[in-house]
Amino acid sequence: MKKRWIHLTLAGILSMGFLGLSAQNDKGKYEDLGRIVINPYVSDQVEGLPESAKNMLSNKLGQVVSKNGMAGSSLSPRFIITPNIVVLDKELTATAPPMTAMNLEVTLYIGDGIDGVLFTSTSLQLKGVGTNETKAYMEALKRINPSDPQLQSFLDKGKTKIMEYYNTRCDFILKEAETLAGMNNFGGAILRLTSVPEVCKTCYDQCMNKVPDMYTQYINHDCQIKLNEAQGIWNAGQDIASAEKAAQILATIDPEASCFGDVQKLSNAIAKKVNEIDDREWKYVLRNQEQESERIQAYRDVGVAYGNNQPETVTYNVRGWW
């Protein structure tokens, strides 16, 4: 696919605009899209767990999923790994000074934390000894080994269930994306489509086939909003300052948007006025980029930007999991 990009310059305005856009995109990671992701989550339902031990457990779960290539991401918050702990026994040792010895059963669960559907679980028995109960908890939790074959098998089962989720619910995912687009939430729609893991090939292909049309709707909608904003700023000022503000907005409009002809007309009108005011040159420099991968990255830019603007706190449903 051949793509035209138009580079807008006015005393460095374009570089300022692109730097701002690049900084925004850097917040997200493209590798978070198109892969299976499991997010660590320690529920408040885990009774009696000291706060410091809770933090250690959350970090341990992060190590477990990271070791197996499924590290969590705010862009894909649906699937979780979450623990429950049962204290099998606790005693004070006959030592000087006395120590607290604990035997814990730590059960880990993988499931859909949004819909509250449990996929699989596994249990570990861990022992810890410390000068107090908190330290005994932490010594026991330190024994969780991310390379444990039992945990790797557990994650494999969870991965299989997640793939089944996408393969059996693809129609719902497509419908949800269409609904979001109908509400002009194109970022949410594109994120939903591009978040389907590539290993779920059939659903992945169906979703990616929908993205170009969704993206076209997005850039057309975005173009009209930004054009109106730039036009309003320019009409209100008709000076160098308003020209620079308008330029920053126009510089972010995709040249393939349906209203780009009007963008060029506004730019020409501003350029003419700028030249009259201050004898400055304002011009377009065309350049061509022919890589299809750049268009795919543009799709994901939209999804990543939307995901980064969502609240970081997600309310998970684990009722009935233990």
- Residues 126-184 have pLDDT tens digits of 999 999 999 999 999 999 999 999 999 999 999 999 999 999 999 999 999 999 999 99
Indicate the CATH number for domain 39-159: 3.40.50.10610
**128 φ/ψ angles, rounded to the nearest 5 degrees:** -145, 145
For residue 22, what pLDDT is reported? 37
Of 129, 124, 119, 176, nearest in space to 150 by CA = 124
Listing from the earlier edge strand, what are the strands of the sheet with 117-130? 39-40, 79-92, 100-112, 117-130
At 205, the amino acid letter reads D
pTM summary value:
0.77
For residue 187, what pLDDT is reported? 93
- Beta-sheet strands, E only, within 59-204: 79-92, 100-112, 117-130
The residue with tokens 């009774």 is 47
For residue 293, what pLDDT is reported? 66
| Residue ranges, CATH 3.40.50.10610, the chain | 39-159
Residue ranges in the chain modelled with pLDDT below 50: 1-30, 284-290
Alpha-carbon separation of residue 307 from 171, 193, 264 (angstroms): 22, 12, 31
